[in-house]
Amino acid sequence: MLIVIVSKSRYLDEMIRVFIFIAVIFSLVASGQAQETQSAAVTFKEVRVHEGDHPGYAAPEYDDADWLPVSRYRIDPQGRMIWVRAYVDGNQLKAATAERPLGFFFSALASREVFFNGVSIGASGTPGVSADAEIPGPLDAVYYIPTELIRPGANVLAIRISSHHLGARVRGPIHSFRVGSYEGATKHRIQSYIPAIAAGGAISLGAFYFLGLFAANRRELTSLALGILAFAVVGQLGAEVWRAFNLYFYPTHMLRIYLMLGFAALAGAALFAFSGLRFAPHRAKSISVVAVVTAGLAIYLAPGYDGKIALVFLTFMTAALVAALIGATNSERGARLSAAGFAIFILIAFIAPQRFLDQTYYLIMAMLMIVLFTMQIRLLGFERHARETAALEAVRLRHELLKKQIQPHFLMNTLTTLSEWIESEPKTGVAMIDALSNEFRLLHDISDKTLISLDDELELCRQHLMVMSLRADAAFTLHVDGGTSDIQCPPAVLLTLIENAFTHNEYRDDATFEINATQTGRDIAIICRAPIQTTINRSTQPGTGLAYIRARLKEAFGENWTLRSKPTNKAWETTISWRVP
């Protein structure tokens, strides 16, 4: 069970900042250690490759002049058996081994057997000419180089290697090919992930917090998006560091790659969902279609799985940037800060692509997410305050609506007229009672609503006009033009305009009130025309009717409405317009 205490969000903010600080410190320390290890290594710029299999290929005296020279990262054993030979200077190795034991660190999506100067120094699985003949071995391995095997001059590393069990073709099956400190070679794999792991702690905290927020309030979709984003980044990090703590066999590496690709796509989609919902909800659908299509093309066309993972995430990051820029043009809270964070992330990815997915991605993501986390907490606070203010305003408006209808002056005049009708014409008195009760019943039904159908509003106006007709012994009617069945409006706004007309006019003759309603797409306009007869000056609070209407419109439509009122030829014309969300 998740217990969410939003009021303590400032403590969460401080905890996340501490995690990020620790991550940065670890990054500096680990980077220095990794550089030290790397500086002591012997790397190979070029090796020689030959397809086929013969035990004599391991002999140091074998003549490999006709073998194909390639870069060490261009070695490709997929679907075949090959031999690889590389040369290293013995004097360089002797100088290095005087300080510490040496090992050959070889990471490849293949089974292999390693020979040093013709002597086998280890194997990972059993290479073979076919899938049936090959036994898969671990992806990463370090092979100890005995000091007694090192001789002056050229020393030969020969590797018998095959790869038949990947299940998919990869661009670069060779990940590492070097000689270095035997101890350092095993430690370097873990050291390189320390900064990312430290950053993952802060991200995990955010995942629990925002998923908890959504569990407490299912309407907080932006919190759900942030929680999923944090969960996906932690999942991607878990798949990334899996390699450092588990010496799995090389076919399992493809499962790890697919997990990373899936989590990257999920993280990118969640990041865009947050930005789209928060800053550009009306454009989010169209932007998401473009982002999904582009991400699909990236998966299909990008060379190498690292490229696919990076491009898929950066595609969604770009879509999130577009949504934030749209929000910035509309002055949405937090949009400019988010857009700056997204832009910096994308810029760093293109400026420093090396080791981006292994280390930089998680550190930058942690720093970006603390910005998003802090901003989200503050925005939720603003929204909660706005909802509380709106709720209080709604209660005030309902109270104002009911108070307007039971004014002593209105009730006194109505009851006086009712008593006269009962004495003189009981049937008319009963009709007046029915009209008055119908008006109050409708008022009771709509008083707690933000929007009602325009048809219900017009029926309320008709009942009030019937009451006023019986009071004045005149015919007050309502004429309606335009379609009204699909329009929703705030309660009692048209009724208030009609009441204003009776407040400022003394109607001695019959009168017709006109309502014209039009809808064009999301734009709605209602024009109310009240006839002008004998104007009077009543001692009422000036502007209370229009103030009520403005408050109701703001409650329902925010700032997307207008109210204009002006006199015309023998009528007072009021136009109310708004845009449907």
Neighbours of 248 (CB within 10 A): 16
DSSP 457: H
> Alpha-carbon distance 453 to 484, whole Å?
8
Q: Comparing 94 with 155, which gets the higher pLDDT?
A: 155
> Alpha-carbon distance 368 to 350, whole Å?
17
pLDDT at 1 over 80: no
Neighbours of 548 (CB within 10 A): 20
> Alpha-carbon distance 26 to 403, whole Å?
66
> Alpha-carbon distance 88 to 133, whole Å?
31
Maximum CA pair distance of the chain?
132
- Do the Cβ atoms of 530 and 516 come closer than 8 Å? no
Please state the φ and ψ torsions of residue 523, each to the nearest 5 degrees: -95, 130
pLDDT of 396: 64
- Do the Cβ atoms of 168 and 79 come closer than 8 Å? no
The whole-angstrom distance between residue 171's C-alpha and the CA centroid of its chain comes to 31
pLDDT of 30: 42
**Residues contacting residue 105 through CB under 8 Å, at least 6 positions apart:** 41, 140, 141, 142, 176, 177, 178, 179, 180, 185, 188
CA proximity to 305, closest of 451, 164, 109: 109
pLDDT of 67: 96
> Alpha-carbon distance 482 to 502, whole Å?
25
Task: For residue 387, name the pLDDT band (cuts at 50, 70, 90).
Answer: low
Please state the φ and ψ torsions of residue 303, each to the nearest 5 degrees: -80, 130
pLDDT of 543: 61
Q: Comparing 39 with 367, which gets the higher pLDDT?
A: 367
Reported as type and span, the H/E element at residue 86 is strand 81-89
The structure's pTM equals: 0.66
Q: What is the mean pLDDT of residues 217-223?
A: 85
> Alpha-carbon distance 234 to 248, whole Å?
20
Q: Comparing 191 with 345, which gets the higher pLDDT?
A: 345
- Do the Cβ atoms of 209 and 33 come closer than 8 Å? no
pLDDT of 528: 94
Label the pairing between strands 561-568 and 102-108: unpaired
Q: What is the mean pLDDT of residues 15-39?
A: 44
Q: What is the mean pLDDT of residues 550-569?
A: 86
Most confident listed range (95-109, 292-306, 321-335, 548-562): 321-335
Using N-to-C axis directions, what is the helix angle for 221-245 and 194-216, rounded to 10°? 150
3-state SS, residue 128: coil
Using N-to-C axis directions, what is the helix angle for 252-279 and 335-351, rounded to 10°? 150
Listing DSSP states for 393-450 in one string gives: HHHHHHHHHHHHHT-HHHHHHHHHHHHHHHHH-HHHHHHHHHHHHHHHHHHHHHTT-S
pLDDT at 361 over 60: yes
pLDDT of 14: 47
CA dist list (Å): 36 to 27, 33, 40, 82: 14, 5, 7, 33
DSSP 506: E
Domains and CATH numbers, the chain: 6-37+193-386 (no CATH), 43-187 (2.60.120.260), 406-579 (3.30.565.10)
187-196, 216-225, 413-422: the lowest-pLDDT one = 187-196
CA proximity to 157, closest of 251, 22, 43, 301: 43
Alpha carbon distance, N-terminus to C-terminus of the chain: 36
pLDDT at 212 over 50: yes
Range 373-376, long-range pairs (CB < 8 A, 24+ positions): 373/12, 373/13, 373/16, 373/206, 373/209, 373/210, 373/226, 374/13, 374/16, 375/334, 375/337, 375/338, 376/210, 376/222, 376/223, 376/226, 376/274
pLDDT of 402: 54
Task: For residue 399, name the pLDDT band (cuts at 50, 70, 90).
Answer: low
**Residue 549 structure tokens:** 């209407």
245-259, 478-492, 512-526, 531-545: the lowest-pLDDT one = 531-545
Q: What is the mean pLDDT of the chain?
A: 83
H-only helix segments in 447-488:
454-472
pLDDT of 240: 85
Task: For residue 272, name the pLDDT band (cuts at 50, 70, 90).
Answer: very high
Over the stretch 438-465, which tens digit does the pLDDT of each residue have? Answer: 888 888 788 778 899 999 999 989 988 9
pLDDT at 27 over 50: no
pLDDT of 137: 95
CA proximity to 145, closest of 106, 173, 110, 174: 106
Listing DSSP states for 184-230 in one string gives: HHHHHHHHTTHHHHHHHHHHHHHHHHHHHHHHH-TT-HHHHHHHHHH
**Residues contacting residue 436 through CB under 8 Å, at least 6 positions apart:** 414, 418, 467
pLDDT of 31: 43
DSSP 147: G
